[in-house]
Amino acid sequence: MLKPKNYILILVLVLFGSYVFLESTAKEPLDWSESYWKNHSKPFGAEIFHQIFTEHIEQSEETDQSVYEVLTEEYKIGNYLFFNGSLGFGEYDIKELLCWIENGNTVLMSAEYFPKTILDTLNLKKQKFVFDDQFSYQPNVVFDTTTQKDVYNFKRNLNVQYFTNTDTLNHKVLGYSKVINDDSTTTKYLPNFIKASFGRGELYLHLFPKAFTNYFLVNSNNANYTEQVLSRLNYDESLIVDEYYKAQRVVQQPQLLQYLVANKHLRWAYYLLLLLAVIYIFFEGKRKQKPIKVVQAYENKTYAFTQTIAEMYYRKKDHKSIATKQIEHFYDFIRTQYNISTANLNDEFVAQLASKSGKTQQDIKSILKYIKSIESQKSISKEQLLKLEKQLSNLKN
């Protein structure tokens, strides 16, 4: 019959196993976080863009380095493409990038938030369009405000960023976000794609980076919009595609444990394995062996042996031998208890023993005198033996 603790163990395993099964078979919720990373297949990753565009452009090159590192290690001529929710350039990155554009190269930045230094350099301002109850939360993107053709839908609520102070002399508007009120009576075109000449080069600023994401490109018609944005680049020259300034950039390959945790099924299998290990340690980890027999300590029978020998002498009425043993034991007691030599039983011995035992010298001399009397006789009576035992006991106590 199972022990109570085994029933508890079985119940825990059944409950946890059921939980693991339900969790591992449950449909994982869609991850709408923005990463713009080439290896992410979630809606706002860039796996499709990487497969369709980057892999089919022979002169394209993806980089995991900062702008400053890319442009200072080896001078390059051509195009530089950035897309992310925001571009976190450093001070030296911006200086190097603007200098590179000024020398006749092309840069396309697609982001909702640009470094303030770049906007100030181009004398640009932008803001977020504030939706109210009258306007749709699902805007469209277009290149031309005069035609209703080539309107690209983005059926997902999002913030619409747009430029507010474009200068026709220095900036050229190339595209718009189109917002329409609910009854389709009012339409607004908000500039979201401009070209700015800078030195001998060109800088393109685009406020709709989601055009490069899986969610947008999964619609084949929308891919035409992304292609037209990229058509501003010069494909006769090399193209550098940034992978450094990404929201969820993975710097290194995941380790084994990271890989296990990243996969839902492997993760729950790993958790179950850990639980089983803990249960095994708790219930079965104790050392198992046969009970050790308790060995009783040997009994000290010295006293019984002594008593037996004494009775033997007593029955033979050999009182002198018993007295001799008592005297030897008495001398041994003095040597071990008081650390006094018994080689010479002189006045010095008497003084030392009296000092340490608390007896008077007269008492000690009396006992020693009686001991000599016993030792000088060939045999003694029972009464003499008892008197000797009494005097020795008095000295010890």
The DSSP letter of residue 187 is: E
Q: Which of 33-47, 54-68, 198-212 has the lowest mean pLDDT?
A: 54-68
Can you state the percent helix, strand and coil of the chain, rounding each to 5? 45, 15, 40
Per-residue tokens: 329? 């034991």
Higher-confidence residue: 53 or 289? 53
Structural contact between residues 36 and 46, judged by C-beta atoms closer than 8 angstroms: yes
Does residue 192 surpass a pLDDT of 80? yes
Overall average pLDDT of the 183-197 stretch:
83
Q: pTM above the 0.85 mark?
A: no
Kindly report, residue by residue over 252-282, the tens digit of the pLDDT.
455 666 666 666 677 777 777 887 787 777 6
List alpha helices for the chain, DSSP H. 4-25, 47-52, 67-73, 91-102, 116-121, 214-217, 220-230, 256-262, 264-284, 302-315, 319-338, 347-357, 361-376, 382-396
What's the whole-number average pLDDT of the chain?
80
